[in-house]
Chains A and B, each alone.
Chain A
């Protein structure tokens, strides 16, 4: 099976969907001539021309609004934000226009748009450029929120996102773009709203998504090798709609749960997951659900402080041991 980077997996998804459907187009800063700030759109301008691969000014609110308008008249725009930090400038179009249009038009005007770009922290980009917004965005009815961890999932989920008739928030990661993984030849999609058990286990469920999947998997390996605990790693893949069925099946098996996310703790994705678990799997819980999150502070620039503020393998191991009453 061919091995591709996460970046190229996204590139393939865009290319295949643009070949498949002439209504699909890509718009954003540096997506065309520069081939993408992170080279996700490499070669697309050459293949599809500047009517379908459109460079914009540095004006997020403007091109997000053009995207919503284009979707209203039947096109299927893919709007690239150079990072989700810059999308804050466009949030009115995302939340007030894209998310609500179908509802406020009485079902007449679907908005089949994808807003995509890297989210979360990379390395030493400072407080304003190191933020994970999935819980903000997942809070809004009308938006779907997707955050793939692997090249396989990135390609399959982006294709599903482009074909979906609702606005989809697609969160990538600067630290994920170079990750490699096997991609099957030919056509496949990964459905939205389906979590994936990345590693089977019996003693504790570790819920994660995006970059924290790697953290969880590494923690799981150490837990098995050094702590005698078999962790089950559940990658949410889609934050909203949340795949509670897979989550609950795992927790009912392990009776314990640790949730790992890059974002801030307060009202985070993990808080929502805890809510589902305590309500629907109360009698299956042997321990309080543990959470490992980013520190509740603006991201420090200092390298050591930044490392300390991110969810770590050690923190996940500690939480899993607490949940399993090993300590």
Chain B
């Protein structure tokens, strides 16, 4: 029987995809799992795999074509099978739009909640970096965290079969985009979702261990009142300044060993925040509307600026990884994020985030929370400052950190305790060792 090759939802928010290149030509024999084509989604370039054996009989969407999710792009069938009906049916539908790459990228950008800038899509990205934090930050990151129809904590609409398959395969339905009526997740969406997940991560790696704690009355009241007064995510901000002299020395000393990869301050911050979160579980949490999910594992989302946007690849179990491991993983994720080659499970499932604009010389800034996470820590540049030390003015390397907290989950003192630990660890990195 003929197998319809359709544009699959290869990322949580994907509505259409552009065929970058066909890796199999018409007439080629293909087997289940063979990579047929590379498809550019709104976030990455992904592989479109064969879901049936046979011959790639007909390619309906040429390279460069932009096709809606669910539409037929090719037909796999036996060499002798009559596929004229299938092809004719596809031809009767609207033909795929062939677009030039820049336009396709613009079309595939995550839909911002804020109005898009008036500038054309190929506006210079460098000055836009800060704007990305101001406006794009929220929208792009919301898109990664609460993809598709599952926005907010609303229940995911899925067919019973899709739910069963997702359960069996360990797929989080919240990150699957539904192609059925009203965004219903149906079998083909689940079939499309796990390609990447199944290929790499075991379910346990994807879903952090957690404990759901029902809301107490006071928690509910705080939540209700803060939402009423401050909007969907009631932020508050805590700022502190850390002395970075010993962190600086530690980094210099480690990198002097000559091993690759070199450790960056960003790696150190990821590690420090992760270790601090492991000691302050009350901040390592998701706001879920009717409950708060406190995670035992620490998965740090790391904001990475990419062309025309922002993405937060996740370093899993960062508290248990060495700085060297974090450095290696972080390089790899950032490179692939910029090449738009991240898999969906690599940029979802974070329990807390960090953001660093130090390399842009920003002294301090506030970052917006990536729901349903309850907090994010923003780091500014490390710079030499005059400080009073032992009654005298001294020149010290200093860094300012600002933590944004979701007040429904984190109260002032709770957040302050986390930030205090972060500062202490930065000021005395040896404390992480024991």
Binding site for B on A (CB under 8 A): 202, 224-228, 230, 255, 282-287, 325
The answer for the CA separation of A286 and B157 in the assembled complex, in Å, is: 12
Q: What is the distance, in angstroms, from A221's C-beta to the closest C-beta of chain B?
A: 11
**DSSP class of B's interface residues: helix, strand, loop or mixed?**
helix
- Decide: A285 and B160 in contact? CB cutoff 8 A: yes
Q: Which residue of B lies closest to A281 (CB)?
A: B160
Task: Kindly list chain A residues whose C-beta atoms are within 8 Å of the C-beta of B197.
Answer: none
* Distance from A276 Cβ to chain B, minimum over Cβ atoms (Å): 15
A225 to B159, CA, bound (A): 27
User: Is the Cβ of A284 less than 8 Å from the Cβ of B4?
Assistant: no
Q: Which residues of B contact A202 (CB under 8 A)?
A: 1
* Binding-face segment, B161-169, B270-278, B287-295, B402-410: B161-169
Q: A228 and B89: CB pair below 8 A?
A: yes
User: For residue B160, which residues in chain A have a CB less than 8 angstroms away from its CB?
Assistant: 282-286
**Contact (Cβ within 8 A) B4 A228:** yes
User: By the criterion CB–CB under 8 Å, are B85 and A283 in contact?
Assistant: no
Q: Does B234 contact A (CB under 8 A)?
A: no
Question: Which residues of B in the span 137-196 have a Cβ within 8 Å of any Cβ on A?
Answer: 159-164, 179-181, 186-188
Can you name the residue of chain A whose Cβ is closest to the Cβ of B186? A286
Q: Is B306 an interface residue (CB 8 A)?
A: no
Pull 11 A–B residue pairs with CB atoms less than 8 Å apart, ordered by A: A202-B1, A224-B85, A283-B161, A284-B164, A285-B161, A286-B160, A287-B159, A325-B70, A325-B179, A325-B180, A325-B186
Interface centre among A226, A228, A284 (most CB of B within 10 A): A228
CB–CB B2/A255 < 8 A: no
Given contact pairs A282-B160, A284-B161, A286-B186, enumerate 16 new A-B contacts (beta carbons under 8 Å).
Answer: A224-B85, A226-B85, A226-B88, A228-B85, A228-B86, A230-B1, A255-B161, A283-B160, A283-B163, A284-B160, A286-B161, A287-B159, A287-B180, A325-B181, A325-B186, A325-B188
Q: A255-B187, A287-B186, A325-B180 are in contact. Are A228 and B161 (CB under 8 A)?
A: no
Residues from chain B with a CB closer than 8 A to the CB of A225 are: 85
The CA-CA distance from A183 to B159 in the complex, in Å, is: 43
Query: Size range of the interface on B?
Result: 20 to 34
Set of chain A residues within 8 Å of B180, measured between Cβ atoms? 287, 325
- Give complex CA distance A325, B160 in Å: 15
In the complex, A40 Cα to B187 Cα: how many Å?
A: 49
Chain A residue contacts of B1, Cβ below 8 A: 202, 230
Q: Which residue of B lies closest to A278 (CB)?
A: B160
Residue of B nearest to A223 (CB): B85
Task: Give the Cβ gap from A101 to chain B, nearest Cβ, in Å.
Answer: 43
Task: Kindly list chain B residues whose C-beta atoms are within 8 Å of the C-beta of A283.
Answer: 160-161, 163-164
**Closest chain A residue, CB of each to CB of B87:** A228
B-chain residues with CB within 8 Å of residue A255 when the two chains form the complex? 161, 187
Nearest to B92 among chain A residues (CB) is A226
Closest chain B residue to A224, Cβ basis: B85
Nearest CB of chain A from residue B15's CB, rounded to whole Å:
16
Give Cα A43–Cα B276 distance, bound, in whole angstroms: 96
Q: A286 near B89 (CB under 8 angstroms)?
A: no
* Nearest CB in chain B: distance from A279 CB, A: 12
A214 to B180, CA, bound (A): 30
> Which 7 residue pairs across A and B have the least CB separation, nearest first?
A286-B161, A283-B164, A286-B187, A286-B159, A228-B86, A226-B85, A225-B85
